[in-house]
Structure 1
């Protein structure tokens, strides 16, 4: 090695070291902001909605959802008991200042992608898509989906749909610094959507359109049902609406009963499903 190459090699090594240090600093800064945002949202929900009081001083664990999706599942535990979860995304227009969005959150013992329901002894990739979330199992030329909430294995003939949750702009989702400002409980106790089946007879009728204002302001004598066709309408998933959340007095989220309460953006729920008021129920006079 001649002397004239030594300055070049030294400069290259210095550049590599500086790049490595800068990357480590950026990663540490990102993680700090991410953890701070998790705690802020948890505190905002727990302090405003008594159904989430167990979230106070709870511990968290984070796992990545899918490869390159910029989505994370935050499981929440207190005294070694599962008490809820968050699904957080990173806004695609994030630059030097991270902008996280809250895609979904829920309270209760059963969370999305719970290890208790995960496929055993098979490599499975978690894929988040709101109500249609699933584990994807790939074996040779076949693919199969497993419901991310219940662990139900769907037939191999089921087709994967284009993700619906990705179609929503960041301004329709909870972002950094936003607070839960209002809430309303429609159904305080978990109930089965088939306990009141008036909505079933309405499936074949003209589209209903229960607006956010109707959900928020009107009092119904019977539960309101959200029916969501998933996986290219091969499955119909009905849910009883339990609670409503309003963030910064503008971003609306709907909480439905599904082995606990799970909250998704109203804009998403209204797009992928239909809200039904049972024929036997009517707004209170």
Structure 2
């Protein structure tokens, strides 16, 4: 078992994260690049105008790198005045006779991004692999492969193995708007400061999206995620909630910055717990 400040030993059934298999680019690279950059700017402006936590994204610069071979996934690094202020993880899906369609796999605000060069392994063979909370650099060795956490640079034991992919749905797509936001914890929070979630996890008293959305400000909500074939348990304090087009839900958790992932994904591989439930009844 693997134990760190963030990860705890955990036994149980693990559902894994999706890696979408993306079709090829549009034939004319110039047109594709223009559409890609335009969509990035649209999402950045949408977040900066709708959520004050993203205000530094206004007129910020971007750098793009490919994640993994033939995955059609890109990491967009966002900087302002040479200071890292966030990132996007963008994927692409192309349907027959339909223009390019981009999807938002993940996004985050703060100075620590996924696959930061400061934490990158020095081995030449290290390959970036996006897999949600299990994102990692994969280091090929003669006898075995090793994974290094893409957020913290923490090396996992060589015995750890990646999970099988699972198809995800309800991702933010081209043209969607950020229509609703909620802030539960506006400052970095350590889930170990309040461990009521651990007792609730034993009782199986997880909450739904509707209950999540109804939580009051400063509510203590924890997302627990089991990773790497249930060899670790990662708890995250929930900071914010986003709703795109009133239908695509994303959850922002504190992880060396605020990190947003699709609710569908988070709910599939983990569970949400409220340490001191303060759920208001739905409005009629």
SS of residue matched to 1:203: helix
Aligned residues: 257
Contact between 2:168 and 2:265, CA under 8 Å: does it hold in 1? Answer: yes
Identify unmatched segments of 5+ residues in structure 1.
1-22
For residues 107-155 of structure 1, give each alpha carbon's deviation from its aligned partner in whole angstroms, at most 9, with x where no partner exists. 0000000000000134211110111111000111310000000000000
Map of 2:50 onto structure 1: 48
SS of residue matched to 1:204: helix
SS of residue matched to 2:196: coil
1:168 aligns with 2:168: yes
1:274 aligns with 2:266: no
Map of 1:9 onto structure 2: none
For residues 211-232 of structure 1, give each alpha carbon's deviation from its aligned partner in whole angstroms, at most 9, with x where no partner exists. 1111112327641000000111
For residues 57-94 of structure 1, give each alpha carbon's deviation from its aligned partner in whole angstroms, at most 9, with x where no partner exists. 00000000000001000000000010000000012536
Measure, in 2, the Cα distance between the counterparts of 1:122 and 1:69: 20
Deviates more, 1:172-181 or 1:212-221: 212-221
Map of 2:18 onto structure 1: none
Q: 1:194 aligns with which of 182, 192, 195?
A: 192
Contact between 1:220 and 1:284, CA under 8 Å: does it hold in 2? Answer: no
> Hey, which bits of structure 1, 4+ residues long, moved more than 3 A?
92-96, 280-285
Measure, in 2, the Cα distance between the counterparts of 1:24 and 1:104: 23
Larger-gyration structure (1/2): 1
Contact between 1:227 and 1:237, CA under 8 Å: does it hold in 2? Answer: yes
Contact between 1:221 and 1:282, CA under 8 Å: does it hold in 2? Answer: no
RMSD over aligned Cα atoms:
1.8
1:210 aligns with 2:212: no
Map 1:147-162 to 2 at 5 A: 147-162=149-164
1:70 aligns with 2:72: yes
Map 1:26-175 to 2 at 5 A: 26-91=28-93, 93=95, 95-164=97-166, 167-169=167-169, 172-175=170-173
TM-score normalised by structure 1 residue count: 0.86
Measure, in 1, the Cα distance between the counterparts of 2:162 and 2:132: 14
Identify unmatched segments of 5+ residues in structure 2.
1-24
TM-score normalised by structure 2 residue count: 0.86
Q: 1:65 to 1:221 in 2, by over 3 A?
A: closer
